[in-house]
Amino acid sequence: EPAPEESSDGEATPLSEQKQWGFAVSAGAGIAQRSSSIPMEGGAARLSTIPFPAIQAQVLGYVRPDASSRYRLALAVRYTTSVGLQGRDERADGSTRTTDMRAHHLAIGLRNDIPLAPGERPTRLQLEVGWGFRMLDSEIPVSIPDYTLSGIYARIGLWFHIGDSPLSLGIVPEIGHVGSLSDDLSQSGQVQDGFLVGAEAHVRLQVIPEVSIHLLYREAHAFLGSAREGGGEMNDAERYGILRAEYQF
């Protein structure tokens, strides 16, 4: 997310804003939901979850052209995982069963934060390109095989401040191509590559120049075609709300 602003009350600029490079670490928790449907030989198999606890961590390393610049180039790594996930397996014959599962999402991307105006509190354009992994696995066999979806993604976000307050808002749409999937999924569902579409909404509170609090909501869907006779497609959906704290140094 955008770099912290310098203090406006005449105090010394924090050390993190005097350097051409630095790091930001954030972690938090929230509530998530996951669902999936796959065309199988006996009909569509579906898996859904009740809302479950999730944790998220992010590490970001950045550089600037010079210490006074508001532009920065960063490498960002984000990881989100489930805690106590219960999945509901909805089988093609109409029966259901519940089982323990794990859901994961890992994203590694190169990010550009670009100020759109001069000054200490400019609106920012955030561009990110990277590779993402979405995983779902069960402790016991279910109708849907354990799977991993991965591929390139692009995020184009806009961040802007709310007047002179310490609050800022961010809207971050995302698109991607799912070009790699696990063997069990491609064989059982004859699933092919597809695309990803999603978005995030952020609210950020700058507590002090080095510390901020973020509230975010994300929803993203992956759609993959199937070579199975009769057509159909796979749909993997993730939704979560996360509250996390960030420290920049």
CATH number of the domain enclosing 182: 2.40.128.90
d(CA 76, CA 44) in angstroms, rounded, equals 37
DSSP H helices in 134-197: 183-188
Q: Tell me, yes or no, whether 88 lies in a domain.
A: yes
Q: Tell me, yes or no, whether 3 lies in a domain.
A: no
Buried b (16+ CB within 10 A) or exposed e, 210-245: bebbbebebebebebbbebeeebbbbbbbbbbbebe
Rounded to two decimals, what is the model's pTM?
Answer: 0.86
Q: Tell me, yes or no, whether 156 lies in a domain.
A: yes
What is the extent of the structural domain holding 169? 28-248
Residue 212 dihedral angles phi and psi, to the nearest 5° = -140, 160
What percentage of the chain carries pLDDT values higher than 70?
Answer: 88
Q: Tell me, yes or no, whether 210 lies in a domain.
A: yes
| pLDDT tens by residue, 55-114 | 999 999 999 998 888 899 999 999 999 999 988 887 767 778 888 999 999 999 999 999
d(CA 13, CA 6) in angstroms, rounded, equals 6
Domain count, the chain: 1
Between CA 51 and CA 61, with CA 55 as vertex, the angle to 5 degrees is 145
Q: Tell me, yes or no, whether 128 lies in a domain.
A: yes
